Structures are given as C-alpha cells and as structure tokens.
Amino acid sequence: MDDLTIAAIRRRIRTKITDSDGFSPADPDGIADDERQLGFAFPPLLKRIYTEIGNGGFGPGYGLIGLSNGVPDDAGNTGPAIYKLFRDGDPEDPHWKWPEGLLPICDWGCAIRSCVDCADPNFRMRIFDPNEHRGEDWADAIFEESPSFEEWIKAWASGVDLWALMYGEEGHITRLLATRKPIS
C-alpha cells in the first residue's frame, strides 16, 4: 500500500508547482540520528517519503519541512530544529509548553504548521496556529487535523485541498473558531 502512496505523491508533485527545482533524498542514517536525538520514531511512511522522494520542499502548503540537512522552512529551520526550539520553552512566557513528540513537518505560512504527533501510535496530524492563541495555555492553538499521517498525505496526494478542509468556509477549524468567544 505504501508503494501506491509513494507513486501518488510523485504524480502530485509533477502537477503542483513548488519553489524547489529538485529534491535530494534524506540519508537513512541521518533520519536515524534525528530520531535518536529527538527521542522518538517518525512514521514509517514519512521516512520512506524523505528517503525515496526528497528531504522536504514539496507537498501541502509551502511544502514539507526537511529533516536535518533537508529543505528548511522560510526561517531556515528544519523540522528537528523547530521541534528543539519549541521544546526549549520561552522565558518570557511561562505557559509555553510544546507537546513531546509533536514534530512540525509542513509550513502553511503565518507561523501555522502541520505537525505529526510521534507520541501517538497512529501518528495523528495536528495543526499549530499561534494566531488563535487566546489565553495562558497554548493548547488552545493546537487543533486536530487528521487521524493519521498516512491519511493526511494520501489525501494531499489524491488532490484534496487540505487548507480548505481546515480553514475554508466549511473547514473544521473555521467552524470550531466560530464557537469561540472573542478576546476581550
């Protein structure tokens, strides 16, 4: 089944314009080093995508964020670097606490990131949107995105507009935000 997903991603890449001219695959040893340093395993399909297609620069939004030595986000950070930065905390905000195992892998712009929850056995996808932070606890800025990484990437590969599913007029995050009380 993963072979079909890899093939679908390759087809989608050919139809979606990106800023990258080509994609360099990740080294499996480098991925293993990242997993060791971060203390958790990545989804097997994500590892295959990084080693067989490329270490970031393609995919949903502004593209997958690479692992170490891969394509960075617009601030020059790879997924592991962003994770470490977020986990370090913020001395100016004692309430900032980034969840263990929540690896940012996709950049949507405006600081919004899709993250794979590597602490979850299904590797759920969650969206981090700091623009929606309302109080002290930062958990209000993290939303469910997909039941698994596999479902998420398969949806994108089949042509689904993931942004519209989240933030479109009928998007699940749009509907959820509509129920929130405004900041006073």
The answer to whether residue 59 sits within a structural domain is yes
Percentage of residues in the chain with pLDDT exceeding 90?
Answer: 71
Structural domain includes residue 98: yes
pLDDT of residue 89: 84
- The bridge status of strand 102-109 relative to strand 125-128 is unpaired
Which position has the higher pLDDT, 18 or 110? 110
Does residue 48 belong to any structural domain of this protein? Answer: yes
**Mean per-residue pLDDT over the chain, rounded:** 91
Instruction: Find out whether 103 and 86 touch, Cβ atoms under 8 Å.
Output: no
Asked whether residue 184 is assigned to any structural domain, the reply reads: no
d(CA 9, CA 25): 14
**Helical (H) or strand (E) element with 85:** helix 79-87
Between 133 and 110, the higher pLDDT residue: 110
Domain count for the chain, please give it: 1
**pLDDT band for position 184 (50/70/90)?**
low
Please tell me the pTM assigned to this model: 0.91
Please indicate, yes or no, if residue 146 is contained in any of the structural domains. Answer: yes
Quote the pLDDT of residue 23.
72
Q: For residue range 144-176, what is the model confidence (pLDDT) as tens digits? A: 999 999 999 999 999 999 999 999 999 999 998
pLDDT at 48: 95
Interior angle at CA 81, CA 21 and CA 43, nearest 5: 75
Q: What is the pLDDT of residue 18?
A: 55
With respect to residue 150, please indicate whether it lies within any of the assigned structural domains.
Answer: yes
Q: Look at residue 107 and tell me if it is in a domain.
A: yes
Q: What is the pLDDT of residue 165?
A: 94
Average pLDDT, integer, range 22-33: 90
| Domain range for 19 | 2-178
pLDDT digits (tens, 9 = 90+) for 51-84: 999 999 999 999 999 999 999 999 999 999 999 9
**Residue 91 within a domain:** yes
CATH number at residue 173: 3.40.1580.10
User: How much is the average pLDDT of 133-140?
Assistant: 83
Residue 115 pLDDT > 60, yes or no? Answer: yes
Q: Give CA separation, 110 vs 28, 39, 55, 105, in Å.
A: 31, 28, 22, 15
